Amino acid sequence: MTTARRADQPEPTNPEITAAIAEEQAYVDTLFRRLDDEVTRANERLADVMKDVDPNNPDPEALVRRETEYHGLNQKLDRLNLAQLGLVFGRIDVEAAGEEIDQPVPGHPDLDRRYIGRMGLDDRDDNYRTLLLDWRAPMARPFYLATTVQPEGVQVRRHIRTRGRTVTGIDDEVLSGDATATTVQPGVGSESALHQALQAARTGHMTNIVETIQREQDEIIRDTTRGVMVVQGGPGTGKTAVALHRVAYLLYTWREQLAKTGVLIIGPNQTFLEYISRVLPELGETGVVLSTIGGLYPGITPTGTEDLLTREIKGSGEMAGILNEAVKAYQTVPETPVEVTVDGIVITIDAATVAKSRTRARRSRQPHNLARPIFREHLVEQLSHQMAQTIGADPLGGRNLLSAADIDQLHDDLLDHAPLVSKVDGFWPELAPHQVLTDLLTDKARIDDAAAGYDDETRAALLRSPDAPWAPSDAALLDELATLIGLPDPDEARAEAEKKWRQEIEDAQEVLDVLSSSQSSDIDDDAEVDPDAEILSAFDIIDAETLAQRQEVRDTRSTAERAQADHKWAYGHVIVDEAQELSPMEWRMVFRRSPSRWMTLVGDIAQTGSPAGVDDWAESLEPFINNRFRHHELTVNYRTPSEIMVLANRILYEINPEMSPATAIRDSGREVGYVGAGSDVDKLKEAFDDDRLTAVISSRAAHRVGEHHYVVDEIKGLEFDHVIVVDPAGIIGESPQGWQDLYVAVTRATQTLTVVGDLEL
């Protein structure tokens, strides 16, 4: 291995290394010149697009094309600017194996030299010769797969370190070819680039691993499965990083399809979303929807908290049945007959009549709101026949004197009678999910009716005060109710509004044409009028306003923006991180957003903290995909030092003795520290003099507000340099998943762990 120091360290004395850095610097300069050319061209085209508007020719289609190109150019500029952050990070000299060689290795015409980076760049002046391979391109894959045991045709792999546009160092690995020996030790732990990444201080934001993706991670990232894929992995195995890089790979490989449908990433909490928010832009991908499971239903911001029993009940699959009964409770029949007078004739609406119409509507299998017209139509049909019996009855006992056409007219007249229709609609009212859920959870009588088959404790746990804020568990219930009720599709509603708007424009244009043909200034012909005066008529004013409307672009939102506002949006791909936390009701909500069932689920059932979470992947997924899913397991723990994993593995044994821990590949040289309960946590934090990120994770009873003070729910998926776990026994005792919570807490550290309080194992 050949290694160069950073630019801010003393100059290397090895002339071979100095020459290698200079060689790479020259090539990197070429790449940045090419990148700058791309930025210049994009900016010039953007300026042209901004000017390319003819106010005298308001062509709506041209305006839409302009808007589309405008947004596309801005997205391209974003990608180009972000690509400058570590534009190039690797190089391989690889056997061409029959493929066309873009850059022959000097002295080895059968070897192809490929540079790997965050985006692809071609040489426009040299027949579009590849200068830089996007890390997701198939020809870049040997950079990640090659080992001394399986070199994949790679003779030399070079990691290139840069700061800004300056090459600061290189690491070479000789993997095959003429070399008969190598100083590179087998195993990922010896790889210099990976080691540097693992030792780096944490910053509060996740960094991408594009330079250091390992073989088992790469296989998951590039997996071609078009169904559900489950990635199980213990702490520190890189589950989140793999999921995010898989998003970037999928968007690269299936860009045209996913650009239209979008990608959804679901994380466990808002802190986690902020933590990962920079990764995809750094990889050159924007426009992905990031959401917590509680924020997935549009229009609510869940801030409420609930006890474990309430969360467990609201997350259980039985809640779907309770909600269904809650909706049915609005489909009422009158306790006593209701009379309505129409044109002097009394119409009686009794329970039997309404019940028949209710049965007809329910048998349609339509959601509640969509079944309302069926209910109304059937009930009014019955009432029109009742009215016909009164009006057309033959006093001599013969057949009714009204014809079928007469009865149809009565039917139409009744539908136009507002008091009657109001009574009819009252038996099957239009509903909204927010209204139904609030009515249910704040009314003991409604809960008792909807959950009649459940015990008192269950029903009591559902009841909350009317002023309680939305809780994260409510999102899945609102989504279920939206399905049961049948809300209008936002795109269909928008299309209908667009159709109505166009009709109004056409109607207005007809009026304008009449005004134009009969236009008169209403000025007496004998009056003295300046022949050069400009007379502005009503026609001119109205026409100008219409023209302004016609130039309006109807919907310029991005795919991500449209998807976030639409509870029915069908995403092209869905990623769920910490997927073991999802309850059965939340799984129902997630799968509605993925009718294609193309999903990547990453998690660890040993870290399940939710009372209604996943204990077994097959059991949780069976209702949706009949256990047809691809399973991967990550086996290497890159984050957690072996000293900490000694304790973590003892906790894992308490959770499930049959679970195999991931293999920790590095030592920190510092054992886990144990101090007594009541120790000064602030002093413990001050003892770390390396300015690295320190987190205090405690039980809820011991939690105190402060910077970087957390309870376990808040740190799922995060990592810190130093972790202080306070009151471990309290963490265990606060939840049926207490051991899992403690396991999560102790495995957040990348350097040291300190335990405050008693812990018996």
The confidence band for 621, taking pLDDT boundaries of 50, 70 and 90, is very high
Residue 151 main-chain phi, psi, to 5 deg:
-75, -10
Q: How many CB atoms lie within 10 A of CB 164?
A: 11
Angle between helices 474-485 and 584-592 (to 10 degrees): 50
Q: For residues 300 and 473, is the Cβ–Cβ distance under 8 A?
A: no
Q: Of all helices (H) and strands (E), which one includes residue 657? A: none
* Residue appearing with tokens 């990083």: 241
Cα dist from 506 to 512, 514, 519, 580, whole Å: 10, 13, 19, 55
Residue type, 325: E
- Whether 439 shows a pLDDT value over 60: the answer reads yes
Cross-strand bridge partners of residue 637: 664
What does the pLDDT look like over 109-118, one tens digit per residue? 889 999 998 8
- Whether 689 shows a pLDDT value over 50: the answer reads yes
User: End-to-end alpha-carbon separation of the chain, Å?
Assistant: 44
Query: How many percent of the chain have pLDDT more than 70?
Result: 80
Q: How many CB atoms lie within 10 A of CB 668?
A: 18
- Whether 28 shows a pLDDT value over 80: the answer reads yes
* pLDDT given at position 555: 59
**Cβ contacts of residue 5 below 8 Å, gap of 6+?**
12, 169
Coil, strand or helix at 92: strand
Can you tell me the distance from the alpha carbon of 512 to that of 492, in angstroms, rounded to the nearest whole number?
A: 30
Which two three-digit tokens encode residue 33? 């010149």
Coil, strand or helix at 173: strand
Q: For residues 694 and 723, is the Cβ–Cβ distance under 8 A?
A: yes
Residue type, 611: P
Averaged pLDDT, 374-403: 85
Which two three-digit tokens encode residue 126? 């040299």
Averaged pLDDT, 359-369: 97
CA atoms within 13 A on the CB side of 476: 25
Q: How many CB atoms lie within 10 A of CB 681?
A: 20
Which two three-digit tokens encode residue 695? 């987190």
The confidence band for 573, taking pLDDT boundaries of 50, 70 and 90, is very high
Averaged pLDDT, 247-264: 89
Q: ∠565-569-571 over CA atoms, to 5°?
A: 120
Cross-strand bridge partners of residue 174: 156
Q: Which of 276-290, 453-467, 487-501 bottoms out in mean pLDDT, i.e. has the lowest?
A: 487-501
CA atoms within 13 A on the CB side of 376: 22
Can you tell me the distance from the alpha carbon of 211 to that of 213, in angstroms, rounded to the nearest whole number?
A: 6
Sign of CA dihedral 82, 84, 85, 86: positive
Can you tell me the distance from the alpha carbon of 62 to that of 687, in angstroms, rounded to the nearest whole number?
A: 65
Nearest to 633 by CA among 610, 669, 659, 671: 659
User: Which of residues 647 and 212 earns the better pLDDT score?
Assistant: 647
Coil, strand or helix at 134: strand
User: Which of residues 744 and 85 earns the better pLDDT score?
Assistant: 744
Q: Which of 2-16, 99-113, 477-491 bottoms out in mean pLDDT, i.e. has the lowest?
A: 2-16
* pLDDT given at position 9: 44
DSSP secondary-structure letter at 721?
E
Averaged pLDDT, 408-435: 94
Q: For residues 238 and 212, is the Cβ–Cβ distance under 8 A?
A: no
Nearest to 286 by CA among 72, 89, 141: 72
What does the pLDDT look like over 539-550, one tens digit per residue? 454 444 443 444
Between strands 599-603 and 629-634, the pairing is: unpaired
**Cβ contacts of residue 218 below 8 Å, gap of 6+?**
141, 144, 145
Can you tell me the distance from the alpha carbon of 574 to that of 294, in angstroms, rounded to the nearest whole number?
A: 16
Nearest to 146 by CA among 110, 180, 177, 109: 177
Residue 88 main-chain phi, psi, to 5 deg:
-125, 140
**Cβ contacts of residue 704 below 8 Å, gap of 6+?**
698
| DSSP per-residue codes, 486-528 | TPPPHHHHHHHHHHHHHHHHHHHHHHHHHHHHT------TTS-
Cross-strand bridge partners of residue 629: 228
Residue type, 742: L
Coil, strand or helix at 15: helix
* pLDDT given at position 401: 73
Can you tell me the distance from the alpha carbon of 465 to that of 459, in angstroms, rounded to the nearest whole number?
A: 14
Q: Of all helices (H) and strands (E), which one includes residue 427? A: none
Can you tell me the distance from the alpha carbon of 312 to that of 461, in angstroms, rounded to the nearest whole number?
A: 10
Residue 454 burial by Cβ neighbours in a 10 Å radius (0-12, 13-18, 19+): middle
Nearest to 353 by CA among 339, 374, 334: 334
- Whether 39 shows a pLDDT value over 90: the answer reads no
What does the pLDDT look like over 299-312, one tens digit per residue? 899 999 999 999 99
Report the chain's mean pLDDT, rounded to a whole number: 84
- Whether 515 shows a pLDDT value over 60: the answer reads no
Q: For residues 175 and 151, is the Cβ–Cβ distance under 8 A?
A: yes
What does the pLDDT look like over 699-722, one tens digit per residue? 999 998 888 899 998 998 889 999
Residue type, 293: I
Between strands 121-123 and 129-134, the pairing is: antiparallel
Q: Which of 140-149, 178-187, 383-392 bottoms out in mean pLDDT, i.e. has the lowest?
A: 178-187
Can you tell me the distance from the alpha carbon of 269 to that of 715, in angstroms, rounded to the nearest whole number?
A: 8
Residue 349 main-chain phi, psi, to 5 deg:
-110, 105
Angle between helices 433-441 and 474-485 (to 10 degrees): 120
Q: Which residues of 272-311 are buried (b: 16+ CB within 10 A; e: fewer)?
A: bbebbebbbbbbbbebbbbbbbbbbbbebebeeebeeebb
Residue 726 main-chain phi, psi, to 5 deg:
-105, 130
Averaged pLDDT, 481-492: 83
**Cβ contacts of residue 536 below 8 Å, gap of 6+?**
none
CA atoms within 13 A on the CB side of 326: 33
Nearest to 2 by CA among 214, 19, 521: 19
Q: Which phi-psi region, left, alpha or beta, contains residue 322 (left: φ > 0; alpha: ψ -120 to 50)?
A: alpha
Sign of CA dihedral 584, 586, 589, 591: negative
Can you tell me the distance from the alpha carbon of 582 to that of 293, in angstroms, rounded to the nearest whole number?
A: 8
Can you tell me the distance from the alpha carbon of 182 to that of 527, in angstroms, rounded to the nearest whole number?
A: 105
Q: pTM of whole model > 0.85? A: no
